[in-house]
Structure 1
Amino acid sequence: MRFKLLLSMLLSVLLLSGCGYNQIQVNDEQVNAAWSEVLNQYKRRADLIPNLVQVVQGYAEHEKDVLIKVTEARASVAGVKATPELVNDPEAMARFQKAQGDLSGALSRLLVVSENYPNLKADANFRDLQAQLEGTENRITVARNRYIKAVQDYNVSVRTFPNNLTAMVVGAKPKANFAVDNEQAISEAPKVNFGAPAKPAAQ
């Protein structure tokens, strides 16, 4: 009886291995690792924001509306629980993307406002924070692209034959990916031009 049980287990392992079980697991781990890096870079950006807001506030206290929007956007991002399970929930992923997109927009407006304050632009702390922020945005883009590729590989592995049969048995389902109306725009770092302000258009 025990021999039959062991033989059955061995055959099951061999069948699962031959049907892509191991590959599905490898791809799943790659998705988790890529997602962790996305969250790491988004957290790095969120950690920079309080310092950035504080420096700007020192020079542009009356720009409260812009400063408040950045703070609120950051709080909204923090309110989205970015757990590993989020990648399996398309609606939760969409909320996460929207929150991050809103924060990107608020940051862009804040940096545009800084154009009106020459003393702020000359502040070493501001320049350092702005450089770190731009670097972080670039890292976010790289991390997002790696995550997108990892999810693509995973989803292909659970949808194609014969792996899809194994996926049905073990309950492996396609994962949510980044998908926004304007993927390119949300992936770009906020642009800041420290040159002369643009001339108003002729009436």
Structure 2
Amino acid sequence: MKKPKNLGWLIAGAVVLIILFWGVSGYNGLVGQDEAVDNKWANVETQYQRRSDLIPNLVSTVKGYAKHESETLEAVMAARSQATQVKIDPSNCTPQQLSQYQKAQGDVTTALGKLLAITENYPDLKANQNFLELQSQLEGTENRINVARKDFNDAAKEYNVAIRRFPKSILAGMFGFEKKNYFEAEAGAEKAPKIEF
């Protein structure tokens, strides 16, 4: 029985098509995961922006009741202003940039904590419906921020695993897919706060 002359070419062509199909689907998969990380980052920024948008209303409400707490109110607005100036491109994010972003947002959280602590001294403020609604929205936003940060870290992990696994690591290296950074716990978060009475 005689072998067809073109069988070798057919096999080589099939192998090339399989490799080409794998390369295209692998590349497209990495692009999809990269975009998912960017999308999750946008969700993080959206939640921080939501919190930032609530702050002026909260400060204004507190200001009406706690006029002599101007230092605390100014600190909240200054932290908000600083945090809104820190911008990050998720496709080019360095650990230092992410740390700077986290610090700025942490400063807002600290300032808001001080603001909410002083409200304990003002029973009329604590009973104000507008204040209660803003406080509730702020608490909900903080929860959304935590969820958005977790979702971002999960998407970044999935992407990072994909670009490091063989054989996609070859495509990742060829096309410049680089590791994404994570949100990390703030320094000292591993220690329980010391409470004294």
After TM superposition, the score normalised by the length of structure 1 is: 0.80
Paired residue for 2:165, among 150, 153, 160? 160
Q: Which runs of 5+ in 1 are unaligned?
A: 1-6, 186-199
Q: Say whether the 8 Å CA contact 1:23–1:157 is kept in structure 2.
A: no
1:51 matched to 2:60? The reply is no
Paired residue for 1:116, among 121, 125, 142? 121
Deviations 1:110-129 (A, max 9, x none): 00110010011011110010
Q: What is the alpha-carbon distance in structure 2 between the residues aligned to residue 180 and residue 144 of structure 1?
A: 11
Structure-2 residue corresponding to 1:38: 44
**Could you say if the C-alpha distance between residues 25 and 183 of structure 1 is closer, same or farther in structure 2, counting changes exceeding 3 Å?**
farther
Paired residue for 2:31, among 15, 20, 25? 25
Structure-2 residue corresponding to 1:144: 149
**Could you say if the C-alpha distance between residues 34 and 183 of structure 1 is closer, same or farther in structure 2, counting changes exceeding 3 Å?**
farther
**Which structure has the greater CA radius of gyration?**
2
Structure-1 residue corresponding to 2:89: 83
After TM superposition, the score normalised by the length of structure 2 is: 0.83
Aligned AA (1:17): V
Structure-2 residue corresponding to 1:189: none
Q: What is the alpha-carbon distance in structure 2 between the residues aligned to residue 78 and residue 85 of structure 1?
A: 19
Shift of the alpha carbon at 1:155?
Answer: 0.6
Q: What is the alpha-carbon distance in structure 1 between the residues aligned to residue 22 and residue 42 of structure 2?
A: 31
Alignment identity in percent?
A: 44
Paired residue for 2:74, among 33, 49, 68? 68
Stretches of 4+ aligned residues off by more than 4 angstroms: 9-13, 182-185
Q: What is the alpha-carbon distance in structure 1 between the residues aligned to residue 63 and residue 184 of structure 2?
A: 34
Paired residue for 1:92, among 94, 97, 113? 97
SS state of the match for residue 175, structure 1? coil
**Could you say if the C-alpha distance between residues 75 and 13 of structure 1 is closer, same or farther in structure 2, counting changes exceeding 3 Å?**
farther
Shift of the alpha carbon at 1:183?
Answer: 8.9
SS state of the match for residue 176, structure 1? coil
SS state of the match for residue 82, structure 1? coil
Q: CA RMSD in A?
A: 2.2
Structure-2 residue corresponding to 1:188: none
Q: What is the alpha-carbon distance in structure 1 between the residues aligned to residue 168 and residue 86 of structure 2?
A: 33
Aligned AA (2:155): A
Shift of the alpha carbon at 1:179?
Answer: 1.4
Shift of the alpha carbon at 1:106?
Answer: 0.7
